[in-house]
Structure 1
């Protein structure tokens, strides 16, 4: 039962989904697509947003260190996890589980940062570049702003 559900199969993420890292990318989606009862964070982003940001901050520090050490291989591997965090955050912001069925990440989501697909494609083409890390950092900041905006709108609509 270790097979990755078809909805989560994407070549960029294959290696990390099989890793033994503490952070398991797309864990809740794996449970969801396998039909197991589990918490669905895309239904309660407020409950997990702090965890996402804490995980990103720790990972960001590790990526910075890898770049300072000029360890492109490690930086690239860590960036894949960073992209997974970003992708989860964007899908969950849109109240949907991550799905790669069309292989175009986030293409049909209504709430995404400006030029999201192009910027994400740039990052995924060369994740070991420091410029890709800078772009990923900016995207995380923008998604946080979109989340804050959504929270305010939700609060005022009640």
Structure 2
């Protein structure tokens, strides 16, 4: 198990605070530590999920499908603070998904919106919608937006797969 200091390009609240440390569990490609493979993209020994979107993106989508109802339940029970951590985690997974869909890792959270602006495959108004979610992850409306973004991203993924098979 290796530990790494989070680079300054990723120190953006609510994802990472100054002094944050990543821990590579070495076992699961998508452990609880989000953005690990994006942050450590330059290390040659780690998997590059953005180069294998056919296998990596379905794993992210499955995680969302398995967990999103529990997040919705927290909001129904008005447990906003309990919902915040999974909202942040699944927002980070969505950021990875959107970048991997375009064949690139998340290169920075500090310049996130510039990076999103350069992506070819992305949901409509994704930058504006993510600004809202990231600013207020403990709000029910943020959950609704996140769920819609996952739905739209899934459609974009299957469209990209279909286009890839055609060519």
Q: For this structure pair, what is the TM-score category when the shorter chain's length is used for normalisation?
A: 0.7 to 0.9
**Which residue matches 2:104?**
96
Alignment counterpart, residue 50 of structure 1, candidates 52, 58, 62: 58
Equivalence for 2:136 = 126
TM score, norm. by length of structure 1: 0.87
1:24 maps to 33
Higher strand content, 1 or 2: 2
1:20-79 alpha-carbon deviations (Å, 9 max, x no partner): 89421012123324x241110000011122211121123312211211221000112211
> C-alpha separation between the residues in 1 aligned to 2:156 and 2:46?
26
Q: CA RMSD in A?
A: 2.1
Secondary structure of residue in 2 paired with 1:13? coil
Q: How does 1:58-73 map to 2 (within 5 A)?
A: 58-73=66-81
Which SS does the other structure have where 1:114 is aligned?
coil
Rounded to whole Å, the distance in 2 between the matches of 1:56 and 1:69 is 20
Name whichever structure is richer in helix by fraction.
Answer: 1
- TM-score (normalised: structure 2): 0.83
Q: Which runs of 5+ in 2 are unaligned?
A: 24-29
